[in-house]
Amino acid sequence: MPEPPVRIDGEGFVLRPWCMTDLQALVHHADDEAVSRGLRDRFPFPYTRADGEAFLSGRILPLDGPTLAIEIDGQACGGIGATLGSGERAHSAELGYWLGRGYWNRGWMQRVTAAYVPWLLHRYRLSRLHAQVLDVNHASARVLQRAGFVEEGLARGAVIKRGVVHDLRCFALVRPWPAG
């Protein structure tokens, strides 16, 4: 019997699976150069309706795992997810998230990660969660630090974003194995 859809209720937000009815809100919040600046190039700018349809159909990221919409004020305005490791790295995952600019600097991502990270670690029996943050994205680094992540190092010259070479700050949250 399949598991029920994930729903994590937080203080003023809900984390839930993405659905096709999120298309308009997704495009509205994702089509922002400032939002895409700190994300991988698979999150384009401009962000078109076709980009939203490709994402919501699972052609960009698999949506059957721990990739969830952040719903605030009744609309999807961001996302949080993890790429699960496999083989000898099955105990770990890479965390990623984004939020529409209208919700920045109000503590939303801190509350979202505080709800999502423990759920993810428990649900997938993970002992390591890591994330990489573009060197200019200080707000995202603070979110991770407040969630208990430790900065492990710097990947120098790791990415070229819009013609500029950037370092990636590397963070991890590690708990004892075996995860329970």
Task: Identify whether the C-beta of residue 150 lies closer than 8 Å to the C-beta of residue 172.
Answer: yes
User: Any idea which residue has 């590690």 for tokens?
Assistant: 174
pLDDT of amino acid 109: 97
Q: Hey, what are 96's tokens? A: 């990623």
For residue 87, name the pLDDT band (cuts at 50, 70, 90). very high
Residues of 10-35 as b/e, b for ≥16 C-beta within 10 angstroms? beebbbbebeeebbebbbbbbbbeeb
User: What residue type is assigned to position 78 of the chain?
Assistant: G
Residue 97 CB coordination number (10 Å): 20
For residue 131, name the pLDDT band (cuts at 50, 70, 90). very high
The pLDDT tens digits for 145-176 are 999 999 999 999 999 999 999 999 999 999 98
Residue 159, H or E segment: strand 150-161
User: Any idea which residue has 């590397």 for tokens?
Assistant: 170
